[in-house]
Structure 1
């Protein structure tokens, strides 16, 4: 049995994430907390929350932990198409489809809320601010995918890796996951390679270049960005596509 106080604390990342996109009403927050409390689940590192080809039974909202969206070719090669962070939905409108076209796997221990199709539709219908925030979250996810296409298609290795680090930092910031320019960073060099379309050797060399330039410290699963402005300049990074400066 989970206490309401515990669930309220767990819900903070998603409330902060959605509030960065649209101001949630008090009613919307209360309804969201209730839905999270009723759908609380956990996953272990390496476990898929959902796999490509699975029927879609609802929406999953990530409360803690890191995951990766990925597709795998027949010969086993994997492409990570996005990282899923605390506060993210997987996805707010996915219940409109019938089967998953990609997999979502846990990189760490994960706590999430699974909300069934009918319950989620009722949740959105019950509060306009929550509905708008979820639609914004869906559109931001599309914007992130467009930026990843540019990252892999046009940026060179140093820019690709630097851009990904900047994006993760900027996405963690509004949900309260940055502490003194540092964040937990459970992503391996293999994960980075699969996310950037580079070899592990090339990723290692690129990280060494960023370290030697004094831009990052990456140690003990913790990332510290020591000069965010220069790292953004190196990556040709603008956070506009994340749309965290809400209009209302």
Structure 2
């Protein structure tokens, strides 16, 4: 069930019962992918939109010599680009980072939802704008932020995103990323990434226990990382479109 997507979209506007049912119907076709496997590869023809129901995935580009840059992280509730049908072939790949359960939403199904449920259409437009804003922040991190700011900013962003869909426990959340995958996100060397993680641990800004991250003082990590959540646009900007009686048309 796409309950994480519903919670995510309701950070923009309150959906109606029929809106939620339409999303549930759209997510009926599901597939399971093992960790470190491609969901769709560069050069493939996109046949449907992938919605992450469980697990983590990423968007990446790989150079001819094997070097890989992760350019987006997907958590439950994320769509792997709702506009992918504009492409004849993929210009990037999407891979599972952990075991994932994916709903495959067909183009006709999405078109029907957008036509019959204008509130969902508006919420998906908001979602696409937030996705682009997240991409811009990653560009800023790669170009301007220090290693400590880069890592701290990423961890703050993930906390806020996961908290919005109910996947945090207090000030902790599951972080199923290996150090090698952090290297690919942050654009740092393996040694530099390890040193940066250890620095955040040494200063008490984060605690890592296995695959679980704890942030003892979010405000302190936020300040050290120059993190502001404004680009996530979580201040309920679509309240004017909230479901009510009668339904919006």
- 1:81 and 2:57 aligned: no
1:126-145 superposed matches below 5 A: 126-145=116-135
d(CA) in 2 for partners of 1:246, 1:52: 35
d(CA) in 1 for partners of 2:83, 2:69: 23
Aligned to 1:90, the other structure's residue is in SS state coil
**Per-residue deviation, residues 98-141 of structure 1 (Å, max 9, x unmatched):** 22111110011111110111121112111011111111111111
**Structure with the bigger percentage of helix:** 1
* Corresponding residue number in structure 1 for 2:86: 96
* 2:11 corresponds to which of 20, 24, 28: 20
Aligned to 1:208, the other structure's residue is in SS state helix
* 1:236 corresponds to which of 207, 226, 229: 226
Q: Offset of 1:21 from its aligned partner?
A: 2.2
| 8 Å contact from structure 1 (residues 58, 120) kept in 2 | no
d(CA) in 2 for partners of 1:86, 1:233: 27
Q: TM-score, normalised by structure 1?
A: 0.93
Q: Which runs of 4+ in 1 moved over 4 A?
A: none
Aligned to 1:115, the other structure's residue is in SS state strand
Aligned to 2:223, the other structure's residue is in SS state helix
Q: Offset of 1:30 from its aligned partner?
A: 0.7
What is the root-mean-square deviation in Å for CA atoms of aligned residues?
1.0
1:1-248 superposed matches below 5 A: 10-37=1-28, 39-247=29-237, 248=239
Q: Offset of 1:97 from its aligned partner?
A: 2.2
| 8 Å contact from structure 1 (residues 92, 135) kept in 2 | no
Aligned to 1:89, the other structure's residue is in SS state coil
| 8 Å contact from structure 1 (residues 24, 133) kept in 2 | no
d(CA) in 2 for partners of 1:111, 1:12: 13
Aligned length: 238
